[in-house]
Chains A and B, each alone.
Chain A
């Protein structure tokens, strides 16, 4: 089982719709969770971080975390063509001075005008 799993997609949604991206992780000790956006040929860009159960909203983005189910998701409201990118889920686990971040392989999102 991979440490961080994402559906590779592509996930296609019409412009203006809600895009829902999902991620599961295997390490129950994971403490911090991140969503990165990566445009083709570019580097990953941090867009959301979440540390406790529940929802966290930032503009059109909402991150949701359920530690009991080992599940984290990203909702993008009013999707725009400029949101078309690969979205990477990242999970940080560890203790003391050592914390390791593991990335999923990413979900490709296509927003259709």
Chain B
């Protein structure tokens, strides 16, 4: 089965450190999303790429978060500097325009 691969699965870091999360979307999918999930807020859209171009990153705190797709097989989400309130599960999902999306296993981030 095709799947979305995310690394790392777990990350514990100290406040102020840089965190980079990586995602390999399913081959052929032209739409890639980054979501953050917390108990309080549920799934929040952070960034959205279509054919590697960023279409929406309005959900991201711009001063510390950045998202890129250097090529069709890699999407990255970076937090610099990280803060305790960034602790959450970060999901990458990929799909096609009219379809639903396939989620990766997520990166569980803990900032202490």
User: Which A positions have Cβ atoms within 8 angstroms of B?
Assistant: 32, 34, 36, 42-46, 49, 88, 90, 97-106
Contacts and interface: CB of A to CB of B under 8 A. Distances in A.
Interface of B: 33, 35, 41-43, 45, 48, 50, 55-56, 91, 97-106
Nearest to B43: A103
Nearest to A106: B42
B41 to A, nearest CB: 8
A104 B56 CA distance: 19
Given A43-B106, A103-B42, A34 B100 contact: yes
- B interface, over-half SS: strand
Closest 9 CB pairs of A and B: A105-B42, A43-B103, A46-B100, A103-B43, A34-B100, A44-B103, A49-B100, A43-B106, A98-B55
Nearest to B91: A43
A102 B43 CA distance: 8
20 contacts: A32-B98, A32-B100, A36-B100, A43-B91, A43-B105, A43-B106, A44-B43, A44-B91, A44-B103, A46-B100, A49-B99, A49-B100, A88-B42, A98-B50, A98-B56, A100-B56, A101-B45, A101-B101, A103-B35, A105-B42
Given A43-B91, A43-B106, A45-B103, A99 B97 contact: yes
A24 B85 CA distance: 30
- Among A43, A45, A46, A106, max chain B CB count under 10 A is at A43
